[in-house]
Amino acid sequence: MTLNEIAVIGAGQMGSGIAHVCALAGYKVQLIDVSMDRAEAGIATITGNMNRQITSGRIKEEEREAALDRITPQDNYDHLEGVGLAIEAATENEEVKRKIFADICPQLSAEALICTNTSSISITRLAASTDRPEKFMGLHFMNPVPVMELVELVRGIATSDDTFQTIRGFAEQLGKQWTRAEDFPAFIVNRILLPMINEAVYALYEGVGTVEDIDKAMRLGANHPMGPLQLADFIGLDTCLSIMQVLYDGLADSKYRPCPLLVKYVEAGWLGRKANRGFYDYRGEHPVPTR
């Protein structure tokens, strides 16, 4: 199956980033969301990010124009018949993802492949909700997609060798490095990263240090480019909580219990950068710790 045309479902932070790199790599892209306003907002994000790439010398103006011409915003699934690969990049909610697969499968050709960008949910279980589990696998991009080099390739129990090889080649065409992860909760990166972030929230919750103390300690003491609480805000605290809940439920180990303070922040709607408030308040000129 040739992958000349890609459908990206979800035009948020991850979906727009995936559409961005696909279009720059020469693929035609449908960027699909629940409304045209949201799909076009995704294209506006892509345009801004490509403009920054021009400023930094990573791409040329003509590459930007050609890539943007390859992206079509959509608010429905009516034009999927020519798509070789559909990439689901919706919110980290299994019900939402299953509904998307139920809606797109009848519209796709029998040969089309489906990937999910889930950062934690079982690939085997998601694949079983489609009509083509052998043509389904995880393709987990890192955020921000245009900058981060890695993708995690995750096979479900039914994923065929042909599907894996095709998606591996696709990832390489995008200029990405890849790693193969087994279908266990949160795969490799988030299996290691999110418990560290959760432990940082516990350290805050228990008064071991302030937000600034904890982030400074990990930046300067462990040489991390970004402190764990700042990183949590960047990822989205709701996403962090969802991944910790998947780890806790899937592995039944108390070490993965989400910190109650993380739960409280999400309940308050303080979800990080996207909500202008999380462990830092972003509404002023400079981020200010909220605790």
Residue 129 a catalytic site member = no
Q: Among 117, 152, 198, 242, which one carries the catalytic annotation?
A: 152
- Going by C-beta distance under 8 Å and a sequence separation of 6 or more, which residues neighbour residue 104? 7, 9, 77, 80, 86, 114
Report yes or no: 194 and 243 within 8 Å, Cβ to Cβ: yes
Please work out, in degrees rounded to the nearest 5, the angle formed at the alpha carbon of residue 259 by the alpha carbons of 286 and 281: 15
Cβ–Cβ under 8 Å, residues 156 and 136: yes
Examine the residue annotation and report whether 224 is marked as an active-site residue of this protein: no
Helix residue ranges, H only, 128-268: 161-173, 189-205, 211-221, 228-235, 237-251, 260-267
Q: Which of 117, 120, 190, 198 is an active site residue? A: 190
Name which of 224, 230, 236 is nearest 280 in CA terms. Answer: 230
Q: Which one of 16, 20, 140, 198 is the catalytic residue?
A: 140
Residue 190 designated active-site: yes
Catalytic residue among 119, 120, 122, 198: 119
Amino acid letter for position 289: P
Cα angle vertex 119, ends 115, 120, to 5°? 105
Is residue 15 within 8 A of residue 31, CB to CB? The reply is: yes
Q: Which residues contact 207 (CB under 8 A, 6 or more apart)?
A: none
Q: Active-site residue 63, yes or no? A: no
Catalytic residue numbers, as ranges: 119, 140, 152, 190
